[in-house]
A and B are shown apart, each in its own frame.
Chain A
C-alpha cells in the first residue's frame, strides 16, 4: 500500500521543528510500524538525506523504549500494544499518517521523534525500590504468604514499562498513571511496607518537580496505555499519599 506520512523533523533540542511530508510506496500490511519507518529511512539514506530519528530497542513490546504519537494517539490506533507491535494492516492504502514525538514539558524533544524521558527515571529513583539486600541471602519467594488478589494487582501494576504514553495522551501531560503503577507495585506487597510512607511522598514530590500536570480523571491514559494499567492505581496512590501525609 501507499501512504502519505507527515513526520515531525527537528534538528536538535534547541531548533524549531516542523512537519515534513513523505510519500512511501509498496508498504506491506505485515510490516510493523517501525519496519515501515526503517524502509523510509533506507530510502532517505540512499537519497543522501538525514534519516528520521526514533526510539526503539526490544521491538517486542517489553522495554518501553519505542514511543511516537501516531495520528493523535500514543502508540497509534491499536489498543494494548506498543508502536513496535503496531502493524501496518491497521492502516488503509492512501492513508495520511501524522507521526509526532510525545509532547510534554517534562519530555523535551532531543531530535526528530526522540524525547528525553529521564524524568521517569528520576521519579523511580525517588522511591521506586525496596532496600532489602538480596545478594547472598536470598529468601525463598514463598516464605512470605501474599493473598492472590494483592499479588495479582501488584503484578498488573508492575507490568508498566515506563513508555510515557500515559503522559503523551493526557490533556494535562500528567504522569499520575505511571507514578501510581510504580507506587502500587510496592504498596500492595509486604516487602514494600518498610519505605511505604517516604516512597509515595518522595515519588509524588519528584513527579511535581518535573513539571507534569495534574490529573483530571479524563481516563485517556488508561485507554492508551499499552499495558492496560488501571485508573485504580491512581486512586490507590491518592489514598497512600493522604495516609502518608497524615503519618509524616
Chain B
C-alpha cells in the first residue's frame, strides 16, 4: 500500500504543483508539456494496438484470445480504457486550443510567406493531420467500439471468445472503408513524423541521444502506420 501511495505521489504531485504554480495549465510550457506527455502516451498505446492487430495476419486464434482478454479484463476495461479516452480527448482539445492561441499571436499575415524555406509541411500542419486522425477515430469508434459496448453492456450477449476475428474481417470487406483506413494511416504517419521527436524536445530531452530519437521517431512513424495499412489490405484482399 505504502509503495502505491509513494508512486501515486511521485506521478501526480509534480503535476498538481506545476498546475497550481502557474494556474491550471496557464503557462505556455505547462500546456506544451501536457500536450507532449499525452502524445507520448498515445504513441505507446498505438504500438500496443498495432502489435495485437498484427497477430490477426498470423494467427486467428491468437488474435481472438488477445481481443477477448483486452475486452473483458476489468483493469483494462474500467481503468485503462477510460484513461485512454480521456487522453485522446485531452490531446485533441489541447491541440485545438493551442492552434487557436497560436493563430492569435500573429494577426496581420505576411504578403510573402514561404514556410518551406525553414520548416517542414508536417511540422506546420499538425492541426490538419490531427483533425483527419480525429475524424478517423470517429469512424473507428463507430465501427468497433460502439458495437462492442452494445454487445457487452447493452444487449448482455454471452461471452463468445471466437467472434472477434470474423467481426473484424467482415468490416474490411468494404473497399470504401478499407480506403478510408489507408488514407487515415498515411495522415497519422505524417502526424507522428513530426510529433514523435517534437514531444521529446518539449519535455526537455535534447542531448546526445537526440539524433537516435529522431531516427526512432521516423522509423516508428513509417513502420507502424504502414503495418496498419498492410493489415487492412491483407484482410480486404486475402482473408475476404
Contacts and interface: CB of A to CB of B under 8 A. Distances in A.
B123 interface: yes
Interface in B96-149: 98, 101-102, 104-115, 117-120, 123-124, 126
B204 A239 contact: yes
A145 to B, nearest CB: 23
A213 B28 CA distance: 8
A103 B126 contact: no
Interface string A69-88: 10111000100000000000
A234 B198 CA distance: 12
Given A105-B107, A171-B119, A219-B118, A238 B202 contact: yes
A169 B105 contact: no
Interface in A113-168: none
A69 B205 CA distance: 31
Contacts of A14: none
Contact of B98 (A173, A214, A220): A214
Contacts of B114: 71-73
B105 A218 contact: no
B222 interface: no
A71 B204 contact: no
Contact of B201 (A100, A212, A231): A231
Given A238-B203, A248-B21, A208 B119 contact: no
Given A211-B105, A217-B194, A235 B32 contact: no
A130 B57 CA distance: 63
Contact of A103 (B33, B109, B194): B109
Contacts of B106: 103-105, 171-173, 213
Contacts, number: 144
Interface residues of B, number: 44
Interface string A56-80: 0000000000000101110001000
A242 interface: yes
B150 interface: no
Interface in B14-63: 14, 17-18, 21-22, 26-33
Nearest to B115: A171
A236 interface: yes
Contacts of B31: 214
Contacts of A238: 29, 32-33, 202-204
A211 B107 CA distance: 11
Given A72-B112, A103-B109, A214-B98, A220 B118 contact: yes
B107 to A, nearest CB: 5
B161 interface: no
B185 to A, nearest CB: 22
B206 interface: yes
Contact of A231 (B109, B115, B206): B206
Ranked 4 nearest A-B pairs via Cβ: A213-B105, A235-B206, A239-B204, A98-B112
26 contacts: A19-B111, A69-B110, A69-B112, A72-B114, A73-B114, A73-B117, A103-B106, A172-B102, A174-B102, A204-B29, A205-B27, A208-B27, A211-B104, A211-B105, A213-B101, A214-B28, A214-B98, A215-B28, A217-B202, A218-B123, A219-B123, A224-B118, A236-B206, A242-B29, A242-B204, A245-B18
Interface of A: 6, 8, 19, 69, 71-73, 77, 98, 100, 103-106, 109, 169, 171-174, 176, 201, 204-205, 207-208, 211-220, 223-224, 231-232, 234-239, 241-242, 245-246, 248
Interface of B: 14, 17-18, 21-22, 26-33, 98, 101-102, 104-115, 117-120, 123-124, 126, 194, 197-198, 201-206
Given A214-B31, A219-B118, A248-B21, 14 more contacts: A6-B111, A71-B112, A72-B117, A169-B118, A171-B106, A211-B105, A212-B28, A215-B32, A224-B118, A236-B204, A236-B206, A239-B204, A242-B203, A245-B18
